[in-house]
Amino acid sequence: MLEEVEVKTIPLLCSCVCLVLCLGVTLASGTANIDGIWDGSIEIMGQKLEFVANFKTEGKEVKGTMDIPMQGVNGLPLKNVVYDHPNLSFVLETPQASANFEGVVEGDKITGHFEQGGIKGTFTLTRSKVEAKKEPDKPKKPLPYHLEEITFHNGELKFTGELLRPKKDGKHPAVVMITGSGPQNRYEELFGWKIFQDIADHFTRNGIAVLLYDDRGMGGSSSNVFESTTADFAGDVLAAVRYLQSRNDINPKQIGLCGHSEGGIIAPLAASQSDDVAFIICISGTGHTGREIILIQSELIARAEGTPEDEIQKSREDSQKIYDMLDKGESIENMEAIFEEMASEQLEAMTEEQKKDVTDPEKFLKSTKEGLMKQFASKWFQYFLKYDPAPTLKKVKCPALLLYGELDLQVPAKMSKKAMVAALEEGGNTDFKAKVFPKANHLFQKATTGSPTEYTKLPKEFVPGFLELMTDWMRERVTVVK
């Protein structure tokens, strides 16, 4: 999804790391076995964040990874881990600052503390009684369709994924799913919800094959999301289309794209570059520049969370100041003083209780400043900020379905629908449909406020009619194998 990019950073691991390899850790002789899954949470500055640690012994070495469902990341490597029963320590490296954990193992429980960027917190882990799941949570097997692990290439880049294909023999219509911003796995798994898995299951049960693939740097896919741009991702999508065209069980003339959030920007971009794209579905796409979207989403979300109006306006002014400097070609290094000021403002805005967790104010300020500089300096952010989807939408000639959530605060429905429809009409596209789902948020859950903080509190299910509308619309434009 389109990331909520604010001036402030959040001192909660902030892990958007694209690594999936497990790194070795030291296992002292005579120690108790810690193999298995450990569920728990960290507490820092009055906030709680759930995470899962998974340890596995191989010879004299223990390998470990961490999952953070709230941030939609899995398989983060644990480095420099030393286990000398009962003491356990490890490091989680993130783009912002390394998080150093030290704990004590007591039976089926691990308790301890950690430090990241000059801020301290505590953590607790409990051995899970559930075995590691090698298969997705759902849909349950046996499946009424084939599921095949696949790989394809975009130049030297390798992508891993899976193809869901109806069991009937013949050449099936197909759709490539495109995730939102940030590193996502093939299921666009957010907050423990495999969003694309639910969509793909519904499509395939209705006769349409689906290709899901891991973003750059996720799963077995190579490269790095933050070193790439939206335009690069469009090239990845077209590589997936070419792969499907090479198969004798897919109709090469009926391959479409379905993208969510940034994926709803990528789909038109890919379609504008190739006549091989038969149709596009844009879920929470936009026709505005990244700058416009980031400013409005930050304002709407802050207001929904009760942030005072003067703070909202100050944050907007700070962001605009940075964007204006970037537009003029200023280097990130020349903006260091601004980021230092922002870090200081963040520290000053903390409550006295929160400040108790700041063990090293100077380290906190340095870490926060550097995190901001990395965020704004990333190749992805620089491109996204300036890219305008409207001219691209004018070039899209294939059928298009545009879907929005009425309560979406990340990609506001009214302004996004207006801009995208206007661009398609100006370009002469006569086969498109736009629909706003009442009470739906950015993930198309039935919501109350639409705020991202509400996502985890809502059922992991789509609003009524969401899946059916997409399926029915596609089936009107493709030939399903009977």
Q: Is 78 helix (H, G, I), strand (E, B) or coil?
A: coil
pLDDT of residue 4: 46
The CATH number given to 23-127 is 2.40.128.20
The CATH number given to 145-288+388-475 is 3.40.50.1820
What's the pTM? 0.83
Domain spans, the chain: 23-127, 145-288+388-475
Q: What are phi and psi of 442, to 5 degrees?
A: -65, -25
Sequence-separated (6 or more) residues with CB below 8 Å from residue 405: 284, 413, 436, 437, 440, 441, 442, 443, 444, 447, 450, 463
Residue type, position 479, single letter? T
Whole-angstrom distance, CA of residue 223 vs CA of residue 378:
14
Whole-angstrom distance, CA of residue 180 vs CA of residue 5:
14
pLDDT of residue 65: 86
Whether the domain at 23-127 and the domain at 145-288+388-475 fall into the same CATH topology: no
348 backbone φψ class: left, alpha, beta (φ>0; ψ -120 to 50): alpha
pLDDT tens per residue across all 482 residues of the chain: 555 443 333 333 433 332 222 233 344 334 468 888 898 999 988 788 888 898 877 777 777 888 886 665 667 788 888 888 899 999 998 766 789 999 999 999 999 999 998 899 999 999 987 554 444 557 877 899 999 999 999 999 999 999 999 999 999 999 999 999 988 899 998 877 899 999 999 999 999 999 999 999 888 999 888 889 999 999 999 999 999 999 999 999 999 999 999 999 999 999 999 999 999 999 999 999 999 999 999 999 989 988 899 989 988 998 999 999 988 888 898 889 889 988 898 888 888 888 888 989 998 899 889 888 888 888 999 999 999 999 999 999 999 999 999 999 999 999 999 999 999 999 999 999 999 999 999 999 999 999 988 887 899 999 999 999 999 999 999 999 99
